[in-house]
A = this chain, B = another copy of it.
Amino acid sequence: MSFIIRKGKAGDCKAALELIHELALYEKAPEEVELSLEQLIDDGFGGNSIYELLVAEDRGQIIGIAIFYEKYSTWKGRCTYLEDLIVTKSKRGIGAGKALFEAVIKYSKEKNSGRMEWQVLDWNVPSINFYKAYDAELDGEWFNGRFTREQIQKIDLD
């Protein structure tokens, strides 16, 4: 294989944000990405960082990323949450997604995570098949509830 997997740096965030936009477009929600490059850098590499970044690099080009963080479960305790696993379209099929995903499993193993979790759209068949090949459980019994930032600010509290 021609790529390597390594820990991300602040300087990778520009390429990471491009991949985040590429995925949002595929997920039919391009307008939902409100995150700025400055925010992404600060949230991952500032004094109070909240996520971990792994990148797949192919001859100097970032072709894929995994972004994950420690979440909490009142059933399992500290868990690993994989927020994004993205490989750019032109570089699929060379194993970068597999290598990134397995690096996150390795991280979860070392952390002794209570679970490793992620979400996948119910119509994203290639990704669903990718996860099924690992015997992952894919559970469609839950709704995601949410308020937007605007709703949070507008709700009238007594």
Residues of B within 8 A of A81 (CB): 71
* Interface residues in A, total, Cβ within 8 A: 67
CB distance from A91 to the nearest CB of B (A): 19
Copies in the assembly, this chain: 2
Q: A105-B147, A142-B120, A143-B140 are in contact. Are A74 and B78 (CB under 8 A)?
A: no
* A155 proximity list for chain B (CB < 8 A): 102, 105, 109, 134
A residues near B, CB below 8 A? 20, 24, 29, 32-35, 39-40, 43, 50-51, 67, 69-78, 81, 83-84, 102, 105-106, 108-109, 112-123, 128, 131, 134-149, 151-153, 155, 157-158
Chain B, Cβ-Cβ closest to A82: B145
In angstroms, Cα B145 to Cα A142, docked, is: 11
> When A136-B145, A143-B139 are in contact, do A43 and B67 touch as well, CB less than 8 Å?
no
C-alpha gap A50/B121 in the complex (Å): 28
